[in-house]
Structure 1
Amino acid sequence: MERLTVEFHSWGAVLRLQKPYVDKLVRLLRTGAGAAAVANLFPPLAGYAAALSAVLSLGAAVIENCAGPRGVDLYLSYSGLPWCSEL
């Protein structure tokens, strides 16, 4: 059974993604990074698009690297420090 859950705690939130959702999220982040890279070809968008592409690519790489065979837990504390672990 595929599950995606969000839990809220006093220190922050946890997004728990099982493997099919991890794959979808990584695919979407990479698609967004590719679109931002194409937008980088247009001079008015160049700086913003390059930064967005880099952030999305890095996010996809980190999530994919953190994910185990069952999925990943993504943590975001209210202080702004994110981290992840295998599900």
Structure 2
Amino acid sequence: MPNIKSAKKRVKVIKTKTLQNQMLKSQLKTAIKKFEASLKEGKAAASEAYNFVVKKTDQAVAKGILHKNTAARRKSQYAAKLNKIA
């Protein structure tokens, strides 16, 4: 455990940020699962889920959770899956 006041604060801040990152990662994973499930339901449902998963992916990039190239690759993969069911 840190003894210095600023080090104690850093521990608290890191703990808070870690929880926020975990929440965003969890939301992204849930959106991906919903998108994969909606592919079986039809084009309309999949299109709506695609928009949501792309939004969550972009939010993860903005928060620094995903690299922008990783996000671009994933969005491309989602679009390919969506176009495949057309």
Q: TM bucket by the smaller chain?
A: 0.3 to 0.5
Bigger share in strand: 1
TM-score (norm: length of structure 2): 0.43
TM-score (norm: length of structure 1): 0.42
Bigger share in helix: 2
When Rg is computed on C-alpha atoms for both structures, the one with the higher figure is: 2
Q: Which gives a bigger RCO, structure 1 or 2 (Cα 8 Å, sep 6+)?
A: 1
